[in-house]
């Protein structure tokens, strides 16, 4: 037992550290660099700035759409319903049919007076 437990532990730690460094170098290829991580982070942050700006624009657009929709609802509330329009058309057709049916009698009544 020439090695104390402390030295064995440090040697194991050194082995694990060197293994992790080799794995990192193999996976990133540049021998110890960050593998372009900083550039990728900068690119992602820039993209997120654009996304945040777009979301802000969309919120403004949605507020405008909501306001316009409220205005349209107010305008539509004053329009006649389908039932009223059908009733009015049927009543007008009934009056026209009655005038055509009693045309002769109405002319005689108007000429007699």
Are 66 and 99 part of one and the same domain?
no
Pull the structure tokens for residue 50: 């654009």
Please state, rounded to an integer, the average pLDDT across all residues of the chain: 83
Structural domains of the chain, count: 3
Are 86 and 102 part of one and the same domain?
yes
Are 1 and 25 part of one and the same domain?
yes
> Which has more confidence, 32 or 12?
12
Model confidence at 29: pLDDT above 80: no
pLDDT in tens, 62-110: 999 999 999 999 988 889 999 999 999 999 999 999 999 999 898 888 8
Rounded to whole angstroms, the Cα distance separating 24 from 33 reads: 9
Are 40 and 75 part of one and the same domain?
yes
Are 43 and 27 part of one and the same domain?
no
pLDDT in the model for residue 100: 93
Are 8 and 23 part of one and the same domain?
yes
Residue ranges making up the domain that contains 25:
1-33
pLDDT in the model for residue 5: 54
Model confidence at 28: pLDDT above 70: no
Are 7 and 18 part of one and the same domain?
yes
pLDDT in the model for residue 8: 63
Segments in 1-113 forming alpha helices (H): 5-28, 37-77, 82-101, 103-112
């Amino acid at each position: 037992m020439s090695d104390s437990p402390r030295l064995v532990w440090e040697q194991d730690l050194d082995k694990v550290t060197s293994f992790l460094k080799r794995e990192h170098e193999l996976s990133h290829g540049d021998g110890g660099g960050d593998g372009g991580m900083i550039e990728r982070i900068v690119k992602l942050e820039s993209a997120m700035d654009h996304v945040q700006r777009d979301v802000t624009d969309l919120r403004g657009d949605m507020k405008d759409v909501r306001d316009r929709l409220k205005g349209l609802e107010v305008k539509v509330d004053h329009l006649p319903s389908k039932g009223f329009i059908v009733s009015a058309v049927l009543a007008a057709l009934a009056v026209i049919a009655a005038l055509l049916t009693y045309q002769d009698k109405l002319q005689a009544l108007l000429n007699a007076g």
